Structure formats: structure tokens, C-alpha cells
Structure 1
Amino acid sequence: MNVYIVEVAKRLAARGVEVDIFTRATSREMPPVVELAPGVLVRNVIAGPFEELDKDELPRHLCGLTSGVLRAEAAHDPGHYDLLHTHYWLSGQAGWTAKRRWGVPLVHSMHTMAKVKNAALANGDKPEPAERVLGEEQIVASADRLVANTGKEARELIDLYGADPARVTTVSPGVDLSMFRPESPLLARGLLPHRTGPARRRLRLPRDAYVLLFVGRIQPLKAPDVLLRAVARMLVHDPSLRSQLVVAIVGGPSGSGRCRPEGLQNLAAELGISDVMRFEPPAPQAELADWYRAADVTVVPSYSESFGLVAVESQACGTPVVASRVGGLCTAVADGESGVLISGHDPTDYAAVLHRVHAEQGLHARLARGAVRHAHRFGWDATVDNLLDVYSGAVYTGAVLPDENAVPAEVTA
């Protein structure tokens, strides 16, 4: 979501649309206003303690965030802002109040939805609270436009939340194709074997290794444990792979995963695969692109994904994806062309597919070619084109004031 907001904001500003991004300050050293790019200001609002908070603690600071947003607008002449675009349900709550005060249209992107997540919980994960469900229902009732990442998400908004189909528009997120690109055009065309270039040297990976990559938050929803269990099964089936296999986990604990920050390392030890593992902290985009280029396959075994940006970034670098057949991954990955989608989360199924991609002559090269082609459908410029159409439609038709009886009033307290 952070990548989405930053990339869209920069491109909107380049087209003459001034953008203010409101976010909660997490440090006393943060200045009140920072210029992210020409035409893009980040406003760090004081709302709660100056520290990173678990997402379950954030709702209690919504009043502070909302007040900060309203104060920033009050410092300008009336009509300073033409439109609000909120992201995730917490920001939507602040946006709902600002919309009423300013009389401007509200566009909202869910990114993830409580009802969808609760229907596909991983083992050990806790359901999203009723407070969030009610908050999302209120936003759906009050927003002038709802932006879905995929057609499937659009249907979920309509079927699960009763969204007005006329207010729902599908706009796929993008990927920075100048940053995420194949290491070599020859590799993208399948004319070089696996990964042979400088990315592996920079990351200290053997040239002849079979590298499996997981990128993302370490939490049950993202199911990195499925990859580890699949690797253990692969090594039982073919012990000779142990000398070639490298499994890289790039990311940090998040959500309920913070309760067991060493959980994956412990699981690797229990499975007897610690010797093939590399655990790396979250990486900046340039380094992340190197990880994609260095990998043979990126594995995305999530229980729920509104889109699956990791999958598209990987494919843009020429690396096929093996992913679960859920949510936006069905759009982000072209099954059989740019990667393989797997129904369910049985590690045995993942092990079989990952072994086949390694062993079957020509399969990896074909998927790598398809990965680059498929990823080029998702440039950020196309995303911004479509968002500008959404914004224009919302401004032209005017803001629709919400039904105050749509959900219990205490949600906005």
C-alpha cells in the first residue's frame, strides 16, 4: 500500500495534480511537512505516541488523526482540496469525516477487507475485529467511488458489503518497470540459463544454485511456513537438491507474526532445512529488485491477497511465480504462462510444482519469458490514467453525503 500511494502521488504531481499525503507521525524528529517530490507533500500528523504501533492499537488514535487532517485544511482558504482518496479502512474513517466537513468527493481503496480475510484465516491467525467490519461498511456506504484492485475485489465489495456497482471501478496497481526489469534481455527471452549475472554476485549466491524467494511480511496470512514445509518435502523426495537449494526469506515480522519473531527460524530447524535458508530483513526497492533477479522462482503462498504486487514485481524482473490461487493473485499471475497457481496450501503440492519447474526441460525459460510479457500490462502510468478518470467522474457528479444511519454511530467516535 505504501508503494502504491507513493508511486501514484509522484505521477499525479508530474501531471499537474498537487497531492498532500497525510500519515501518522512515528517520531519526534519528523518535521510536520516533508516534500516527497515536486508537487507532493507528506504531512506527519501527531496522533498517539511517537512510535510504531500494532494495527490493533491504531483505531483509538483515529480522532487525533482526523483532527490533524481537518486542521491542515483549515489553514487554507475554503475549497483548498478538491477530492479525498483514502487507503485502508482507518484512513477511510478520517476521510469520511473530512468529506462531510469539506463537501468534496471521497474515493476509497480498501486494499484488504476484513470479511475476505476472515473467510480465509491461516492457522494461528486471529480474525479481524467487528469494529473494522463496521468501519468498512460505513466507508462503502459513504464513498462516492470505490477503487478495487481486481475484478474479483470489485465483486467482493458488491457481494459482501452491498456496494453500489455504479460506484465501484477496477483499477489495477502498477509496478515500476524502470526499477523492476530483467537483468539481461537475453535472460528474459530464455537464451541464458537461470541466473548468471551480477545480482547473484552482489547477494553472495552461488551461480549454480536453485534459489527460491519469499518476499513480504512474516505473518500467518502470508503463509511463508508453507514454503518451508514444501522445501522439506522436496529434500526428502530428492536429497541431491540440498547441495543446490537456497531459500531466501526477505521481510520482517508483522501483525500476529510479531508474537513469534523467530518462528520461521525455529520451524526451519525443526524441519532440518536451516542449512539451505537465508533470512534477510526488509529491503529497499533497488536491493529487492536484485533479489527478484537472482531468484529462480518467487513463491507467494498467501491465504489472501487483494492484488499481489510482489508477484508482479518478480515477473517484471523475469522471475516466474508460484502462488496460491486466491484473490488478486489470479490477476497478477497468468497461470501456466508467467507462473503457476496452486489451489489450497498443501506443502506437497508446492513441492511438486517447485521441483517440476527446476527439473522439466525448458519450463523455467518459458515461464520467465511469459513473466516479463505479463508484468508489462501493469505499468503505473496506466494506473494513474484510470485513477484520473475516477477522480474526474467523482468531481463532476459531486460528493454524495453518507446515510448517517448506515452503521452504528459509535464507529466514528
Structure 2
Amino acid sequence: MSMHTSPLDQPGTADAGGMNVYILRSLQALLKLYPNLSVEVFTLDTSSSPSESVQVSEFLPRTLIHNVRVDSAVGAAKEQLPLIVDDFAMAVSRSAVKKPDVVHSHYWLSGMCVLSLREITWKDYSVPWVHTMHTTAAAKDARSGQGEDREPQARYEGEQKICREVTSLVVNTVDEAQQMVRWYGVQKEKVVVIPPGVDTHVFHDVVPSRRAHEGSSSQCFLVFAGRPQPLKGVHILVEALALLPPDISIRCAFIGQGSSEYHRQLVSRAQELGVDECIDFYPSFPPEKLAEFFRQADIVAVPSSSETFGLVALEAQACGAAVLASDVDGLRSAVADGVSGVLVASRTPEAWAFALERMVRSPQRRRLLGHNGVQRARVKTWEHSAEDMLSLYRTLMSLA
């Protein structure tokens, strides 16, 4: 269940991000490991021009992707989707081809849909239910910075109900597991830690000479990849660039969809600070193209206020780039501080300018961090994640 975004959507556009990568790569690895597995994916189609109601993809064999149409959802924004959950659940119950042996929902909206389905369709049918939050209201609000809105009370209440009713809650890190127990009162035995992976066939290193400024202590190519929104912290990078000493020259590639008001503010602020000429804004790219940018990057920056894991940080490490990331929750697991990257303690322009300058001035350190990152990523594959997920599914099915 992935109500608000399809796993086939391009990460970095609209509401698509790390969760889309997580679902797609998890399913690909599961389908490869288990030839008898068949999957139905349900996602809400909010477009004004309908897409195919049932879609098949070469990326996901033995999988039906249901683009569910609900009249009340046409043109709806993500913030309006909680009001459409019951209608979506009804439509899902009508379009499902088979009764499931196990259900896995992603994000709180999909979890609310499963709760509704249990009332509508599965009253007398015990279906093991696995849920992955990907992010929670409590985590976002605990780390939120300037310009980041508080999460609505309805989300808190929905997440609490999901935590009470779900069979198993899959989290990315031990940190996240502790958060779920502390903030939501989840029973410890319900929580299963399964770290995400990285596709090392796509995200891999090349010879160091491909890097833009491999040996320079005054020049650097920096890459940011993600949706342009306050919680991702791109504005911090813009402000930090203006604080760097004049002898440091950083060329930046900011990769992500750029049509929001926040993006327009970024461009305007960069012009005010006189750093616009060193920043190139790009649309979102497919994984292969994104990996090329990471391979050329001297530094990949992840200044998020909160991440349940931070797939971009792991993908960048797999490509041999030195990573600078916020010292928050999931990024502490994605990046080994001082080994495969550096965690920045404060999300202020001053702290990031200081960290950037130190990294630029230390080309040997960048090389070492990049080398260690490649080694670290090699053992964090989607196949390992899928094996753990499949084991969980089988256990729950045997108990049902």
C-alpha cells in the first residue's frame, strides 16, 4: 500500500522521494529472491487525466500496480488526502484481484487505509499487517527548523492508532525503534529493525581521477539531491556558501524538482547573497544519471532536519563521495561519522560553512572518507534487506 505516491514515480518530483526508492528496490529484491511471490501495489491516482487503472512494469515482474481512481481525489493535494482515506480503501477493496497473505503499508496515510480496510473487507479474515512509517509527525516536529510547519494533530492520532493495531512495525534503525517506543508507546516486540540498502550495480565508484577537483584544497564540486523543501535544508547551503572565505571556490549542483515557492525563494536568496553564479539547479534524474553526479562530486551534502535513514547519503558513499550530513536520527546510521563522512552538529549556515571549509581544505581526507564509504556501502544491499523482510513475512504468515 502506497497511497500518496507510486513506487514508479521519479524521486525528487512532487511527493516522491526516498520512500519510492525503498518500495521499488525492496520489491525488486523480494521478487528476485522468491520466484513464487506475486504482488499487488495500490496507489491513489489524483491526476485530472486518468492513467491506466492496472499497470505492469518491466521493473517489477509478477506485480500488478493499481492506480486507483477516486472522484473526490482528483486534483487533491497531499494535505487533503486524510479526508479521502475511506473512499480509497473502498476502491482498493473493489479492485484487488486476490485476498492477500500479508499486507505492507508505507507512510501513515497508507496505514490509515489498512485500518479502514480491516473494517470494510477483512473483518473475518486475519491478515498479517506490516507497516513502515518512513517518517513520523513526532520525529519531524522534534527536529523542525525555521520555515517548517508543524504536523497536524490528525496525523499524530492516526500514527498512534496504526502503532496500536499493526502486527509488525518495520523501522530503519535502532534509533527509530527507540523513538517509536518513546514517542508512540509501541510494544518493543512489535518493532523490527531492517536497514535499507543501496543498489551497488547503479551506485558504485570509479577511479578517483573522475572527481572534479580531486587534489585541490581551494576548489570543490558539491552535490545536493532531494526535494526542494525546508526540511531538506537547501537554504542552509545557500547561506553557508556566502560565508566561505573568498579563496574557496565551490561549484554546486542542486538536483530536485524546482517549481515550488521554496525553490523560487532559494534562487532569489542566492542572487541577494551573490552566490547564484556558483549554483546550477537541475530537475530530478533517474538513478543512473544521479550516480554520475555523485561520482563526479567532491562532496555530497545532506543538511536535512530529519531522516529516518537518508538513502541519498548511502548512495553517495557507494559512489565514493565524501558526505556531509546533519547529525540527526537516521543519518547517524547512514553515515559513519569521521569514517565515511562527517556529521554536522548544528543546522546553521555558520556550522555548515565551517564544515564545508574544512572538507575543501582537506583533499586527502575527502579521498579517505570516499574510500571508506565505498567499503561501507558494499555490505548494505537491498538483497540483505529483502532477506530480512521475507523472513518477517513468513513468520507472520505462519502465526496467522
**What TM-score does the superposition give when structure 2 sets the normalisation length?**
0.88
Distance 2:136 2:285 in 1: 26
Could you say which residue in structure 1 is the equivalent of 2:13? Answer: none
Contact preservation (8 Å) 2:101, 2:128: yes
Please give the residue correspondences for 1:259-338 in structure 2 after superposition, counting only pairs within 5 Å: 259-338=261-340
Could you say which residue in structure 1 is the equivalent of 2:116? Answer: 97
Distance 1:149 1:133 in 2: 20
Name the aligned partner's letter for residue 317 of structure 1.
C
Structure 2 unpaired stretches of 5+: 1-18
1:32 maps to 2:53: yes
Distance 2:230 2:355 in 1: 22
**94, 106, 128: which one aligns with 2:151:** 128
1:143/1:47 CA distance change after superposition, 3 Å: same
Could you say which residue in structure 2 is the equivalent of 1:250? Answer: 255
Q: Report the alpha carbon displacement of residue 388 of structure 1 after superposing the two structures with TM.
A: 0.8
What is the root-mean-square deviation in Å for CA atoms of aligned residues?
A: 2.0
Please say which of residues 341-350 and 297-306 is displaced more in the overlay.
Answer: 341-350
Q: Deviations over 1:172-195 (max 9, x none)?
A: 11111101111x2x32xxxx4734
Distance 1:360 1:285 in 2: 29
Distance 2:213 2:300 in 1: 17
1:301/1:324 CA distance change after superposition, 3 Å: same
Q: Deviations over 1:139-193 (max 9, x none)?
A: 00000000001111110111100101001000011111101111x2x32xxxx47
Could you say which residue in structure 2 is the equivalent of 1:18? Answer: 38
**226, 241, 247: which one aligns with 2:248:** 241
Q: Report the alpha carbon displacement of residue 361 of structure 1 after superposing the two structures with TM.
A: 4.7
Could you say which residue in structure 2 is the equivalent of 1:213? Answer: 223
Q: Deviations over 1:226-274 (max 9, x none)?
A: 111111111xx2x1223xx2111101259xxx34340110110111101
Could you say which residue in structure 2 is the equivalent of 1:411? Answer: none
Name the aligned partner's letter for residue 231 of structure 1.
L
Distance 1:29 1:84 in 2: 26
Distance 2:287 2:170 in 1: 25
Q: Report the alpha carbon displacement of residue 49 of structure 1 after superposing the two structures with TM.
A: 5.8
Please say which of residues 51-60 and 365-374 is displaced more in the overlay.
Answer: 51-60
Could you say which residue in structure 1 is the equivalent of 2:67? Answer: 44
Q: Report the alpha carbon displacement of residue 82 of structure 1 after superposing the two structures with TM.
A: 0.1
Could you say which residue in structure 2 is the equivalent of 1:115? Answer: 138
**371, 374, 385: which one aligns with 1:372:** 374
Distance 1:356 1:308 in 2: 23
Distance 1:295 1:162 in 2: 42
Please say which of residues 125-134 and 42-51 is displaced more in the overlay.
Answer: 42-51
**43, 58, 61: which one aligns with 2:81:** 58
Contact preservation (8 Å) 1:12, 1:19: no
**What TM-score does the superposition give when structure 1 sets the normalisation length?**
0.85
Distance 1:175 1:51 in 2: 34
Could you say which residue in structure 2 is the equivalent of 1:5? Answer: 23
SS in 2 for 1:327: coil
Contact preservation (8 Å) 2:307, 2:328: yes
Distance 1:96 1:132 in 2: 14
Contact preservation (8 Å) 1:320, 1:367: yes
Contact preservation (8 Å) 2:213, 2:221: no
Distance 1:118 1:7 in 2: 28
Structure 1 unpaired stretches of 5+: 198-207, 399-413
Q: Report the alpha carbon displacement of residue 209 of structure 1 after superposing the two structures with TM.
A: 5.4
Please give the residue correspondences for 1:143-154 in structure 2 after superposition, counting only pairs within 5 Å: 143-154=166-177
Could you say which residue in structure 1 is the equivalent of 2:105? Answer: 86
Contact preservation (8 Å) 1:152, 1:327: yes
Name the aligned partner's letter for residue 239 of structure 2.
R
Contact preservation (8 Å) 1:99, 1:106: no
Contact preservation (8 Å) 1:84, 1:99: no
Distance 1:193 1:68 in 2: 50
